[in-house]
Amino acid sequence: MTVDDLIQALGLPESTRLNQRVPKKLLAEHGAATAADKRQIQDGVDEIVWLAALKPHLIGVPAFEDGQRQYVELAVLSLALKAGTKPGRLVELLHRAVPYPVLLFTAADAGVAISLAHLRTAQNEADKTVLDGDLLNVSLPGDADLQPFRTALALARQPQADLYALYQGWLDTIDALDIARETGAYQPSLTRAQAAERHQALQQCRELQAKLQQLRAQAEKERQLARQVALNQELRAGQVALQQLQQRLKGVPT
């Protein structure tokens, strides 16, 4: 699936479309924290395009404001990177530079990825925003059936209560794509509560997988029989816990 495919899947009203190229120097001026960041922007970015601006009067979804954030617009951007460029830091810089929550499509050597991050008002500078929570950045699998995900991505399928809820809907949609890497099939969450439960289970699943990998390495090197038995018992218990987590990822009660 290409960036153009993803844009089409969103089903955005024509009135929201901008398709304006953003000069790299603007990202360097507003997003770069260090000289190294500026060099990475200059050397690694091929093109930035502001694809669409989702405003209340254009999509019929109210703005959102509370004590920490003010969502008056959502931005859809694409980022194309030069060959050999790693996307991680550049994706983060772009999300930090734009004063609106961004749905970002990044094209790099490894393929296409989608990223999102909530924003909040900076504590000491009310006119600035900072990332609120972790940046979610998920690569599209190249060998999976993405039609269910493509359907779930559409603007019309996201919550319509306000722009915060809409953006959270996209976050949950992309998180479900990340979960599909563990379950083998894309399955959208049915509620916000279920999405939060599955997200927590995904983090626990990956932490446990890392722990099990470490235990296997220890078991292979261990020469004392008693310690080998203990490690193998711990591995078996971990495998059972992992299977339970994977059932939670599928939305199946354990």
Q: What is the pLDDT of residues 150-165, one digit of tens each?
A: 999 999 999 999 999 9
Hey, which residues does 81 pair with through a beta bridge?
45
Model confidence at 143: pLDDT above 70: no
- 246 membership: H or E segment, kind and range: helix 225-249
Q: pLDDT tens digits for 75-93?
A: 999 999 999 999 999 999 9
Listed residue (186, 150, 105) closest to 10, CA to CA: 150
Distance (Å, rounded) from C-alpha 168 to C-alpha 154? 13
Distance (Å, rounded) from C-alpha 87 to C-alpha 168? 23
Q: Find the DSSP H helices in 187-224.
A: 192-221
Distance (Å, rounded) from C-alpha 97 to C-alpha 79? 13
Distance (Å, rounded) from C-alpha 168 to C-alpha 193? 12
Q: pLDDT-based confidence at 221, cuts 50/70/90?
A: confident
- What pLDDT sits at residue 82? 96
